[in-house]
Amino acid sequence: MSRFNHKDGRSIAIGDAAIYCEERGNASGAPIVFLHGGLGGIEDFNALVPTLGKTYRCIGIDSRGQGKSTLGSEALTYARLQRDVEHICGVLRIDAPMFIGHSDGGIVALRIAAAGAVRPSKVVTLGAHWTLGPDDPTRGIYAGVTPEGWLGMFPEGVAAYRGLNPAPDFEKLVPAVRGMWLDAGGEGYPGESIRDIDCPVLVVRGDDDMLVSRAHAVELADRVPGAKLMNIPFAGHCAHQEQPEIVLWALRIFMD
């Protein structure tokens, strides 16, 4: 079965960081680039990859500092992650990829699609913000994230990170990610630039998502010309893991 395993990939040097990527599935198929959420890794997509890999070339990228990628010395921003992905697409000669991005990964995919240096064939966002206003209640949630609190909620995820990462430093990583989440400047959320996206976009949200509201998902879909919106009942922030059959059903229609 074709799944990301953090064993069969390679690391690509970008400055003083090493960014891990891995390919599964049909090597001659159209490419899909998977971008995971904050403090996660490419294995978070393994509910989708075995099915999609039968037809598509599946490329997973661990965001810098996370999974098997090292953090490096540059400030962690969505713009920095965008440039990392654009660079890797060039190195791997990925032409017109489809992006499937969860949360932070969806934000990065939106930035890439709006910028146009890499021209996606399609973009799917899963539980992703397009902006984070000063009054958005998610700001308070993000501001309260600490290494100790995250370890208490997700001990298995932290253990996996510490076992995989070549230079693990969770106490340094969490503040860096928190700063990225709260960044209100030009290196952060794509904002109104999403109106420049000219490829098909599918906005997916779990109806119980505590971070991304229904209204926010509607705002995103309304701003991207022709975008489709799917709100999945009985799913939260990680709909692709909680309701993978429904997500795969929608992807099959969207990708045809």
pLDDT of the chain, 256 residues: tens digit per residue: 589 999 999 999 999 999 999 999 999 999 999 999 999 999 999 999 999 999 999 999 999 999 999 999 999 999 999 999 999 999 999 999 999 999 999 999 999 999 999 999 999 999 999 999 999 999 999 999 999 999 999 999 999 999 999 999 999 999 999 999 999 999 999 999 999 999 999 999 999 999 999 999 999 999 999 999 999 999 999 999 999 999 999 999 999 9
In a domain, 174, yes or no: yes
Q: Which strands, in side-by-side order, build the sheet including 31-35? A: 10-14, 17-25, 57-61, 31-35, 98-102, 122-126, 201-206, 228-232
Residue 1 lies in a domain: no
Gap between the Cα atoms of 29 and 249, Å rounded: 19
**Structural domain harbouring 189:** 10-248
For residue 183, is it within any domain? yes
Interhelix angle 155-164/170-182, rounded to 10 degrees, is 110
Q: Which helix (H) or strand (E) holds 30?
A: none
- Helices (H), ranges, 37-191: 49-52, 78-91, 104-115, 138-143, 147-153, 155-164, 170-182
**Would you say residue 138 lies in a domain?**
yes
pLDDT at 130: 99
Q: What is the CATH number of the domain that holds 55?
A: 3.40.50.1820
In a domain, 201, yes or no: yes
Q: What is the number of domains present in the chain?
A: 1
Distance, in Å, from the CA atom of 228 to the CA atom of 86, rounded to the nearest integer, reads 25
Residue-level pLDDT at 43: 98
pLDDT at 25: 97
Whole-angstrom Cα distance, residue 43 to residue 198? 29
Does residue 5 lie within any of the structural domains? Answer: no
Given this model, what pLDDT does residue 1 score? 58
For the residues of 154-200, what is the DSSP string, one character each?
-HHHHHHHHHH-SS--HHHHHHHHHHHHH--STTS--GGGGGG--S-
Helix or strand run (H / E) with residue 239? helix 239-242
Provide the b/e sequence for 36-53 (b: ≥16 CB within 10 Å).
bbbbbbbbbbbbbbebbb
Cβ-based neighbour number of residue 136 at 10 Å: 16
pLDDT for position 113: 99
Q: In this structure, is residue 107 part of a structural domain? A: yes
User: Residue 102's CB: how many other CB atoms inside 10 A?
Assistant: 27
Residue 64 in domain: yes
| Cα separation, 64 vs 152, whole angstroms | 23
Cα gap 104→14, rounded to integer Å: 20
CB atoms within 10 A of CB 33: 27
Residue among 144, 119, 152, 166 at smallest CA distance from 16: 166
The CA–CA distances, whole Å, from 82 to 76, 103, 117 equal: 11, 14, 10
Handedness of CA 149, 154, 157, 160 (dihedral sign): positive
